[in-house]
């Protein structure tokens, strides 16, 4: 039996209905997805800030008494700075839903995120300054410790001591440091110059067989070493102030 052909006019309403249903499903899916995006946006940056606070707290609590402790603190602070820099765009929202920020107060979520992020980014500058100080301090310590002062000295090594301290002066002078380390650098140069001059005096007195000048130079070397203690204490005191300021600034972020 031959089937009758369905008039095309009867199929059009079905197509329209199907299209409307499909559109409603798509709109519903987009609405649900965008709602999830906004919910995740708020919770994700809040969770990130919480993790960041934990990392900063842990880094600030690390001691700085020994060089190893300083190295560990530097590593942790660098990790915090890297985390902040990698997430400076954390408040950006997907372009597919960004237009909704003017609807239903959703823009307030972006504003809240930006207000949270702004001081965090500013805090990273203080972290950079602290790291610069610690790095300069480490390099200075390497220069001073590279001299042969800590080895057993004989008259055969005295000329080498003079050369060693002359090199130390040049190396310290060449250090590029931040403003918070300038005073420490200047005192370190003064210390190195004193060590160089006293060793020179010792060598000259020894070669001239001048006992009085020799004993005087020897005593000067001992006194010059006391400058290193002052340098270390001064550096520790400056670092304490810097870290205290870093902690105070962090407390305002909580």
Contacts for 128 with CB less than 8 Å, ≥ 6 apart: 81
Q: Which pLDDT score, from 0 to 100, does residue 115 have?
A: 85
Contacts for 200 with CB less than 8 Å, ≥ 6 apart: 162
Interatomic CA distance for residues 126 and 108, integer angstroms: 28
Collapsing DSSP to helix, strand or coil, 4 comes out as coil
**Which residue ranges in the chain fall short of pLDDT 70?**
1-40, 92-107, 148-152
- Alpha helices by DSSP H, 62-157: 67-86, 95-98, 107-145
Collapsing DSSP to helix, strand or coil, 157 comes out as coil
CB atoms within 10 A of CB 204: 14
Q: Which pLDDT score, from 0 to 100, does residue 42 have?
A: 74
Collapsing DSSP to helix, strand or coil, 147 comes out as coil
Interatomic CA distance for residues 71 and 62, integer angstroms: 10
Tell me the C-alpha to C-alpha distance, in Å, between residue 179 and each of 102, 113, 136, 157, 224: 45, 33, 11, 37, 26
Q: Which pLDDT score, from 0 to 100, does residue 47 have?
A: 84
Q: Which pLDDT score, from 0 to 100, does residue 94 have?
A: 53
| Contact (CB, 8 A) for 206 and 155 | yes
CB atoms within 10 A of CB 100: 15
Contacts for 188 with CB less than 8 Å, ≥ 6 apart: 140, 144, 172, 231
* Sign of the C-alpha dihedral computed for residues 177, 183, 185 and 186 taken in this order: positive
Interatomic CA distance for residues 130 and 242, integer angstroms: 7
């Amino acid at each position: 039996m031959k089937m009758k052909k369905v008039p095309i006019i009867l199929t059009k309403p079905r197509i329209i209905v199907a299209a409307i249903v499909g559109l409603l499903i798509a709109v519903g899916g987009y609405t649900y997805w965008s709602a999830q995006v906004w919910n995740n946006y708020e919770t994700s940056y809040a969770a990130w800030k919480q993790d960041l606070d934990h990392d900063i707290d842990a880094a600030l609590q690390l001691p700085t008494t020994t060089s190893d402790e300083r190295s560990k603190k530097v590593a942790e602070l660098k990790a915090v700075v890297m985390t902040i820099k990698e997430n400076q765009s954390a408040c950006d929202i997907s372009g597919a839903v960004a237009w909704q920020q003017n609807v239903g107060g959703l823009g307030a979520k972006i504003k809240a995120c930006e207000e949270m992020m702004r001081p965090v980014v500013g805090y990273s500058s203080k972290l950079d300054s602290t790291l610069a100080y610690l790095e300069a301090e480490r390099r200075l310590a390497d220069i001073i410790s590279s001299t042969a002062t800590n080895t057993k000295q004989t008259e055969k090594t005295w000329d080498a001591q003079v050369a060693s301290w002359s090199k130390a002066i040049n190396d310290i002078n060449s250090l590029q440091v931040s403003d918070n380390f300038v005073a420490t650098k200047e005192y370190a140069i003064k210390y190195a110059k004193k060590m160089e001059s006293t060793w020179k005096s010792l060598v000259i007195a020894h070669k001239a067989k001048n006992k009085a000048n020799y004993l005087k130079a020897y005593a000067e070397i001992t006194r010059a070493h006391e400058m290193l203690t002052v340098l270390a204490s001064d550096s520790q005191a400056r670092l304490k102030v810097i870290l205290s300021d870093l902690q105070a600034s962090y407390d305002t972020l909580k």
